Amino acid sequence: MIPPVQKRPPLIQIVDDDPAMRLLTRATLESAGFAVIEATDGAMALSQFRKARPDLVLLDVVMPHMDGFATCRRLRGLPEGRETPIMMLTGLDDVESVKQAFDAGATDFISKPITWLLLRYRVMHMLRSARLYEDLKTSQERLSLAQRIARMGYWHFNFDTKQVACGGEIRTLLGIAENATLDSPEALMEALLQNIHPEDRQQVQSTFYQAISTRQPYRQNYRVNVDGDERHINNQIEIQTTCDRTPCSMTGIIQDVTAIHHAEQKIFRLAHFDALTGLAKRSFFMDSLSSAMLHAKHANGQLAVLLVDLDRFKRINENLGHVLGDKVLLSIANRIRRSLQGCKVLYPSSSVSDYCVARFGGNEFAILLPDTYGAEQVSQIASHLIRDISQPLLLGNCEVLITASIGISMYPQGDDDQESILRNANTAMRHAKAAGRATYCIYQTSMGSPIQDRLILENDLRKALTNDEFVLYFQPQVDMRSGLLTGAEVLIRWQHPRQGIKMPGDFLPLAEESGLMVDIDLWVLRQACLQIARWQSSGFATLRLSVNVSGQLFSQDNVADLIGDIVHRYGIPARNIEIELTESTIMQNNDKTVSNMSRLKQMGFGIAIDDFGTGYSSLSYLKHFPIDTLKIDRSFIRDLANSPSDMAITRAIIALGDSLGLTTICEGIETPEQKTLLLDLECHHGQGYLFGRPVNIRDFTQRLKTQKIETPMFEEGPGGPTTHAEKAFMDYTLRG
């Protein structure tokens, strides 16, 4: 613990050439607790004062060599002696001597003969006054320092005397000359108006004089120009009243808030403007749109919102990197600005500051055009934007071509809220992309229904798995030589509660976009395995189903384990399931694909390539992947009789599959002529309406029963399959 600092007693310096007088004075003061030092003449007093720095000086007037008046003047001339209290001791009681003492710098005087008790209290009073003065001075210095730090000044106006008093800092803040007179409201305002920003002068002057007239407080912000710098000033006025609440004066503070203003501007820009492009953010755009809508409503006018989306911008980031991608975005933002500035002929009613350009995120921009004449004018502006954006862009040694699709929403057009306007513009933009990109589209009411229907369908699709609304259909695959059933392809249907049966093309693309495809794939696999288990218990032991697996499921690292666990759970052999993959799926990641296919093959699953010839059509990958079956796409079979090219391609694929030891199945066979041609090409296995349309589980099970009665295909002896039909079935796939 730090011990408290001991206060020293006040030090009094006695300057007198009379020893008896010094002795009596010392005794009196020391008995009162003061410390005392003595000097016998003025020279000694000055030397002693510099060293001891006394708190108070008792100075005799009449002394040899240097009298008290001269000594007092010399003490006041010392830097450390300017504020020290000096009490003159004099036997002279004439007025002239008193005046001379005060002129020399004395604080007080006392006449001889001295009343010693009175001296004691006079000294105590002078010391207390000196301390108060010192405290006041310190307080004023601190206040002045605080005002300088806060860049603040003050002024005071008395209503009765009409006098104005100003602090020194106010001149620095407002750039007022030191010699300018500020003793009246008019003089203050005249000096102030010289530096106030021209746009703010009228408001400052009228508010100031109105406050004096009404005697009411106010707060005001304005700008001043000082030495070429623009400063932002905050002025606040308070009214002082008498005890009966009558206004008597007003006091104003003036503060330089330039730094605060700049900080607020920076915060505002960070909150409302994009750091990369400098364009507005969505929140600022929405505020601007709200104001423009209100103006258009009252003025019976129109406005337009344009959503600009850069076409295929993802490839820029993927191929060039995000750094160059950001440079492209910045260049496009500048092009949009310049294009709008160049549309003055098309858009003469507004200035550059009237419209608002925003970046909504990624590669999407929004433009607000208030006070438009109509759709034709906006269409011309959109055409200019598309043309200007699509100019070649040079990035280092690389030339990049960027195009944009623009969706336009007009107001009023039946929708009164901001979100509807943006939603309509987004709908129109999607239509522009669907129309081939690099174009614009103006929203029409009829465009909204497909979008709404899609959202409803997506919501229903998420409920379909939980509500058990999916069903399996089976399309037979046959040996075209004997007509015997060799398997089936598993197909999914959606029993929609309101719209009835929906085909896969109506909902599977949406499932892929919505992230539901993996769950649907796994559901199909589980249902296919469950049905095989049921058929096995009914005697159809060797039945094999072919199940389509999407790229989303097959890209999973543990896809082989997922499929293997499902088959194991239902207790069926893996050979009863064949996994169908598209060419695009197996080419997504060669190493991972080979690994997954090999694991499935080791487990006993068959692997088929679906719609062969329509994807990558690369023959080299066939020898690298563990494939069992090629399924020739129906597009080659449809015109087989009339198209030599289709005939040649089909013949080549069949020959290729045969040379590699693969089974070939033709899809989409609908006529006996197609069947005959394929048999002539040595393709023995087919699938299509000629052999049976996709049917539900009940109808397909009935066909299995009929097949079982008519042929020995499903009989199995203790040594395994015993008939040609069963052997053929084990070699071919049944797609699901």
Whether 450 has a pLDDT exceeding 70, the answer reads no
The domain ranges of the chain are 11-145, 151-262, 273-443, 458-731
Residues 6+ away with beta carbon under 8 Å from 307? 360, 364, 365, 366, 406, 407, 408, 409, 422, 425, 426, 428, 429
For residue 312, what pLDDT is reported? 84
For residue 454, what pLDDT is reported? 73
Q: Which fold has domain 151-262?
A: Beta-Lactamase (3.30.450)
Query: CA dist 284 to 356, 407, 702, Å?
Result: 9, 20, 66
Helices (H), 538-610: 551-554, 559-570, 583-586, 590-603
3-state secondary structure of 707: helix
For residue 735, what pLDDT is reported? 34
For residue 350, what pLDDT is reported? 46
Confidence at 715, pLDDT banded by 50, 70, 90 = very low
Q: Give the lowest-confidence range in 313-327, 334-348, 664-678.
A: 334-348
For residue 333, what pLDDT is reported? 93
**Between the CA atoms of 120, 122, 126 and 131, what dihedral angle is there, to the nearest 10 degrees?**
50
Residues 6+ away with beta carbon under 8 Å from 356? 280, 284, 285, 288, 289, 367, 368
Rounded Cα–Cα distance for residues 688 and 476 (Å): 8
Whether 271 has a pLDDT exceeding 70, the answer reads yes
Rounded Cα–Cα distance for residues 373 and 481 (Å): 73
- Write the burial class of residue 579 (CB in 10 Å: 0-12 exposed, 13-18 middle, 19+ buried): buried
For residue 409, what pLDDT is reported? 94
Residues 292-319 as b or e (16 or more Cβ within 10 Å = b): bbeebeeeebbbbbbbbbbbebeebbee
The full 3-state SS of 347-384, as one line of letters, equals CCCCCCCCCEEEEEECCEEEEEEEEECCHHHHHHHHHH
- The DSSP output letter for 79 is G
Tell me the CA end-to-end span of the chain in Å, nearest whole number.
88
Rounded Cα–Cα distance for residues 165 and 156 (Å): 5
Whether 722 has a pLDDT exceeding 70, the answer reads no
Rounded Cα–Cα distance for residues 733 and 736 (Å): 10
Whether 268 has a pLDDT exceeding 60, the answer reads yes
For residue 621, what pLDDT is reported? 67
For residue 145, what pLDDT is reported? 74
Span 487-518, pLDDT tens digits: 899 999 999 988 889 999 889 988 888 889 99
Percentage of the chain exceeding pLDDT 70: 90
Confidence at 733, pLDDT banded by 50, 70, 90 = very low
Rounded Cα–Cα distance for residues 326 and 395 (Å): 11
> Is residue 235 a contact partner of residue 220, using CB atoms and an 8 Å limit?
yes
Confidence at 530, pLDDT banded by 50, 70, 90 = very high
Which of 134-148, 173-187, 324-338 has maximum average pLDDT?
A: 324-338
Identify the CA nearest to 130 among candidates 11, 288, 210.
11
Residues 6+ away with beta carbon under 8 Å from 638? 646, 668
Identify the CA nearest to 431 among candidates 441, 422, 423, 418.
441
Identify the CA nearest to 577 among candidates 566, 588, 586.
566
Which of 242-256, 461-475, 718-732 has maximum average pLDDT?
A: 461-475
> Is residue 155 a contact partner of residue 166, using CB atoms and an 8 Å limit?
yes
Confidence at 329, pLDDT banded by 50, 70, 90 = very high
Residue appearing with tokens 């015997």: 484
For residue 29, what pLDDT is reported? 94
**Cα 344 to chain center, whole Å?**
32
Q: Fold match between 151-262 and 458-731?
A: no
Rounded Cα–Cα distance for residues 337 and 388 (Å): 10
CATH architecture, domain 273-443? 2-Layer Sandwich (3.30)
Span 542-572, pLDDT tens digits: 678 999 999 889 888 889 999 999 999 999 9
DSSP output for 324-354: HHHHHHHHHHHHHHHHHHTTTTTSTTS-TTT
Whether 51 has a pLDDT exceeding 90, the answer reads yes
Identify the CA nearest to 590 among candidates 566, 616, 564.
616
Q: Which fold has domain 458-731?
A: TIM Barrel (3.20.20)
For residue 429, what pLDDT is reported? 92
Rounded Cα–Cα distance for residues 603 and 609 (Å): 18
Confidence at 189, pLDDT banded by 50, 70, 90 = confident
Confidence at 195, pLDDT banded by 50, 70, 90 = confident
The per-residue pLDDT of the chain, averaged, comes to 84
> Is residue 715 a contact partner of residue 726, using CB atoms and an 8 Å limit?
yes
**Cα 448 to chain center, whole Å?**
29
What residues pair up with 208 in beta bridges, in sequence order? none
Whether 344 has a pLDDT exceeding 70, the answer reads no
Percentage of the chain exceeding pLDDT 90: 40
Rounded Cα–Cα distance for residues 36 and 272 (Å): 72
For residue 723, what pLDDT is reported? 33
Helices (H), 280-321: 282-299, 314-320
For residue 75, what pLDDT is reported? 94
Rounded Cα–Cα distance for residues 652 and 629 (Å): 15
Q: Give the lowest-confidence range in 37-46, 107-116, 382-391, 689-698.
A: 107-116
Rounded Cα–Cα distance for residues 530 and 519 (Å): 16
Averaged pLDDT, 375-381 = 90
Q: What are the backbone angles phi and psi of residue 665, rounded to the nearest 5°? A: -125, 130
Size of the chain in residues: 736
Whether 584 has a pLDDT exceeding 80, the answer reads no
- The DSSP output letter for 2 is P
Averaged pLDDT, 364-385 = 91
- Of all helices (H) and strands (E), which one includes residue 691? none
Identify the CA nearest to 16 among candidates 121, 126, 110.
110
Confidence at 378, pLDDT banded by 50, 70, 90 = very high
Cα-only R_g, the chain: 50
Identify the CA nearest to 609 among candidates 665, 659, 650, 565.
665
Whether 1 has a pLDDT exceeding 70, the answer reads no
Identify the CA nearest to 608 among candidates 599, 597, 619.
597
3-state secondary structure of 573: coil
> Is residue 478 a contact partner of residue 683, using CB atoms and an 8 Å limit?
no
Whether 14 has a pLDDT exceeding 90, the answer reads yes
Rounded Cα–Cα distance for residues 523 and 469 (Å): 11
Whether 452 has a pLDDT exceeding 70, the answer reads no
- Write the burial class of residue 716 (CB in 10 Å: 0-12 exposed, 13-18 middle, 19+ buried): middle
Whether 34 has a pLDDT exceeding 60, the answer reads yes
Strand residues in 75-204 grouped as ranges (E) = 86-90, 108-111, 152-158, 164-166
For residue 261, what pLDDT is reported? 86
Rounded Cα–Cα distance for residues 216 and 704 (Å): 99
Rounded Cα–Cα distance for residues 638 and 668 (Å): 7
pTM higher than 0.85 for the full model? no
For residue 493, what pLDDT is reported? 95
Whether 484 has a pLDDT exceeding 70, the answer reads yes
For residue 47, what pLDDT is reported? 93
For residue 379, what pLDDT is reported? 92
Confidence at 713, pLDDT banded by 50, 70, 90 = very low
Whether 415 has a pLDDT exceeding 80, the answer reads no
Residues 6+ away with beta carbon under 8 Å from 603? 560, 563, 564, 567, 574
Averaged pLDDT, 610-635 = 76
Averaged pLDDT, 359-377 = 90
For residue 676, what pLDDT is reported? 93
For residue 714, what pLDDT is reported? 36
Averaged pLDDT, 319-333 = 87
Strand residues in 159-314 grouped as ranges (E) = 164-166, 218-226, 229-241, 247-256, 302-310
Q: Give the lowest-confidence range in 235-239, 570-574, 680-684.
A: 235-239
Residues 224-252 as b or e (16 or more Cβ within 10 Å = b): beeeeeebbbbbebebeeeeeeeeebbeb
More confident residue, 315 or 541: 315
Rounded Cα–Cα distance for residues 703 and 715 (Å): 16
- The DSSP output letter for 447 is G
Q: Which fold has domain 11-145?
A: Rossmann fold (3.40.50)
Identify the CA nearest to 389 among candidates 444, 329, 325.
329
